[in-house]
Amino acid sequence: MDTYALVKNKAVAAKQAAGQMALLSTTIKNQGLLQMAQALRAQSEIILTANARDMEQAVAKGMKSSMLDRLKLTPERIEGMAVGLEQVANLPDPVGVVVDGKRLPNGLNITKVKVPLGVIGIIYEARPNVTADAAGLCLKSGNAVLLKGGSEALHSNAAIAGVLARAAEAAGLPVGAIQFIDTTDRQAVDALIHLNGLVDVVIPRGGAGLIKAVVMHATVPVIETGAGVCHTYVDASADVEMASRIAYNAKVQRPSVCNAMETLLVHQDIADKFLPLMLNRFLAAGVEIRGDERVQAYSQQVVPATEEDWSTEYGDLRLSVKVVASLEEAMEHIARYSTGHSECIVTEDYSQAQKFQLGINAAAVYVNASTRFTDGNEFGFGAEIGISTQKLHARGPMALPELTTTKYLINGSGQVRG
């Protein structure tokens, strides 16, 4: 069978399952999730064996160690996936939640209620745990899921998806609710993103290249996630110690993630007091500083920043630093280079804080806290399928409610329009 037909067949099966998923009780869905968790534990050997094959091939291909670490599964990581499914089982079911409602003057009763999206396509890269995480969230929210993982994790993902699908079916979930696209053919992604009428939304999770390719070529609806060129602006009035703590945390605590800081903007009136110590602290932590001329003046170790640096999501221990003349210059810089993920001002000035929060166009706008908090778990959502950096449907951390849509139920007694 060709790849297009393979993907389409799986989407058709997923759509059929989605119709039944939408009608399932929370109890049945939760039982499915708990049995999926148990199955991961009970069948961890199958998964570890499959993962060993992927690891062997990856090593043979010369995959770099940070990628190998993402690919590798251990009993602890499998336990982590199982616990994740159990946590999702414990979260409230978004399906059936009444969002709004009223009685119209003509006696019609209107209720706006949350319902599943239908078939959710997830396109992801190296980490095999996404297979379990995404399946759990999609099923709990009453959807069927169509999983397309990275080629390098094919055996691991297929093993996990197989274990989960069998457990889900045994627990009474509809056959076909978890579909794994078991091919390394690159055409599979292209097929998936063109299945209008079968796939209700595609969520790409991975690097900027993958996300851009999906956004630019998909004809099915897409939710864009994850690109994060995040800024921290240290205002003239900032508490220097607090600013140092926040900036250090935002850059150093986990530089590989999308909510880490990539650019530090510093008001010129506080630069002398703030930057020398801050730069030393960063340099001591192994952070490479790329600065404008005024930043370079504070340390010989600062590399000149290029135009490209300001728009780059480093994802590592590199940082762009710029001195600005005003809040307005900081906000203009952010408007120009931000990906609309998370932006922070450190300030003791009420009006500056207000202007920043009102004027910055991003999913999360902070005053006096690290951008690292932009995360479904940190926000108290209990889970996260991704962080939307677009404006339609969902913006910021996406959890179970964001995997639903709504429908209007209208109950009448024979009303017609006059």
Binding site for a second copy (CB under 8 A): 19, 22-23, 102, 104, 108, 110, 115, 117-118, 196, 200-201, 215-216, 219, 221, 223, 239, 242, 245-246, 248-250, 253-254, 335, 353, 357-359, 361-370, 372-374, 378-380, 390-393, 395-396, 405-417
Local structure of 113: helix, strand or coil:
strand
Q: Find the shortest distance in angstroms from Cβ 406 to a second copy.
A: 6
Q: Kindly give the pairing relationship between strand 318-324 and strand 288-291.
A: parallel
Residue 154 or 324 having the CB closest to a second copy: 324
Residue 323 or 362 having the CB closest to a second copy: 362
Q: Find the shortest distance in angstroms from Cβ 313 to a second copy.
A: 16
Q: Find the shortest distance in angstroms from Cβ 199 to a second copy.
A: 11
Residue 298 or 366 having the CB closest to a second copy: 366
Residue 53 or 254 having the CB closest to a second copy: 254
Strands of 318-324's sheet in order across: 303-304, 288-291, 318-324, 261-267, 230-234, 342-346
Alpha carbon distance 81, 132 (integer Å): 6
Q: Find the shortest distance in angstroms from Cβ 50 to a second copy.
A: 34
Residue 56 or 378 having the CB closest to a second copy: 378
Residue 148 or 395 having the CB closest to a second copy: 395
Positive or negative CA dihedral for 395, 409, 140, 183?
A: negative
**C-alpha torsion angle, residues 284, 289, 294, 298 (rounded to 10):** 20
The beta strand positions in 312-358, using DSSP E, are 318-324, 342-346
Q: At what angle do helices 75-90 and 26-42 cross, to 10 degrees?
A: 170
Q: Find the shortest distance in angstroms from Cβ 360 to a second copy.
A: 8
Residue 64 or 102 having the CB closest to a second copy: 102
Q: Find the shortest distance in angstroms from Cβ 219 to a second copy.
A: 5
Alpha carbon distance 318, 286 (integer Å): 9
Q: For residues 96 and 142, is the Cβ–Cβ distance under 8 A?
A: no
Amino acid letter at 315?
Answer: G
